[in-house]
Amino acid sequence: NTLKKDSINDSSVIVKKKIIDLAGDVGGQEDLVWLGEKLAAASGEGEAAWQAMLKIFKRSGADVMGEWLTKLAAENAQGKITNEQRIAFFEMTERKADGENKLELLKTVRQELASSYIANSNFERAAECLGKLREAAKTDQEKGEILNKLLEVYLKWPNVKNAADLVYNSLLEKDLEPNSVIVQSIDSYLNTPPEGGDPKALLAELAKIRVPEQRAKWRQRMELWTEKVSQAVDANGVK
């Protein structure tokens, strides 16, 4: 350990990188600590340290990954690792947690992955993660919260067909109040469409839904949205 500490603080960048590479090849989880301290280093040391850590993580079990999950999620806020590096670590953690049947860790890492995919505008992968989380959810409240996030992802994507399918499934259960997250998400989309978004296309897809009986509030909301978008189209001179 003394030799390692003395050597890693050597002024030679070449020596430092060789020790970092060696740690990646033969090191254990105890080496993750000092490698983690090198993530923000310049002259390529930071990237070398990250690659070495990935090698050690590949040899480690899910419990070790779980210990580092919170640490590496927090590192990004300090600019020590990129969102892409976080995703690489989270994806590896997901595979290990799934393989070792660590359900709580699997849930946590999929939540982190969904957020990271959204930050990278990778909405397809985010939707996959949220779908798995919804399947594993144990309470109606938890399922509802995930459903709302899923709708937001579909609208940001945008994937109006999937968004409409999700709304349909919700309407099968109950009418949608004006203050429901689903209605508010659609409202926000129509007011400020994302890049590539088309309010008319979303409304056209929603209009195809075979709405169950006794869904008066949803029908009223659709009428309001249709009128609103129609007026916006007329004002912009678009047909």
Written as six digits, the tokens of 160 are 């109006």
Buried b vs exposed e over 148-186: b needs ≥16 C-beta within 10 Å?
bbbbbbbbbbbbbebbbebbbebbeeebbeeebbbbebb
Give the tens place of pLDDT for each residue, 204-217: 999 999 998 899 99
Split at pLDDT 50, 70, 90, the class of 40 is confident
> Alpha helices, DSSP H only, in the chain?
2-8, 13-26, 31-36, 45-59, 62-75, 83-99, 103-119, 123-136, 140-156, 160-173, 181-191, 199-207, 216-236
- Averaged confidence pLDDT in the chain: 89
Tell me the pLDDT tens digit for each residue of 109-131: 999 999 999 999 999 999 999 99
Residue 239, pLDDT > 50, answer: no
Question: What mean pLDDT is predicted for residues 136-158?
Answer: 92
Q: What is the pLDDT of residue 144?
A: 86
Look up tokens 């992955």; give the residue: 113
pTM: predicted TM-score of the whole model, two decimal places:
0.84
Question: Residues 77-84: what's their mean pLDDT?
Answer: 80
Q: 89-103: per-residue pLDDT in tens?
A: 999 999 999 999 999
Confidence of residue 2 (pLDDT cuts 50, 70, 90): very low
pLDDT-derived band at 24 (thresholds 50, 70, 90) equals very high
Nearest to 47 by CA among 75, 80, 76: 80
> What confidence tier does 203 reach under pLDDT thresholds 50, 70, 90?
very high
Least confident of 3-17, 36-50, 78-92, 189-203: 3-17
**SS3 assignment, position 3:** helix
Which position has the higher pLDDT, 236 or 220?
220
When pLDDT is averaged across residues 56-70 and rounded to a whole number, the result is 95
Give Cβ neighbours of residue 157 (< 8 Å, ≥ 6 apart). Answer: 123, 124, 127
CA distances from 165 to 21, 133, 169, 229 (A): 50, 18, 6, 21
Question: Which backbone phi and psi does 142 adopt, to 5 degrees?
Answer: -65, -45
What secondary structure letter does DSSP report for 192? S
Q: Give pLDDT, residue 10.
A: 59
- pLDDT above 80 for 82: yes
Residue 233 is predicted with a pLDDT of: 63
Cα 131 versus chain centre, distance: 12
- Give the residue-averaged pLDDT of 149-156: 94
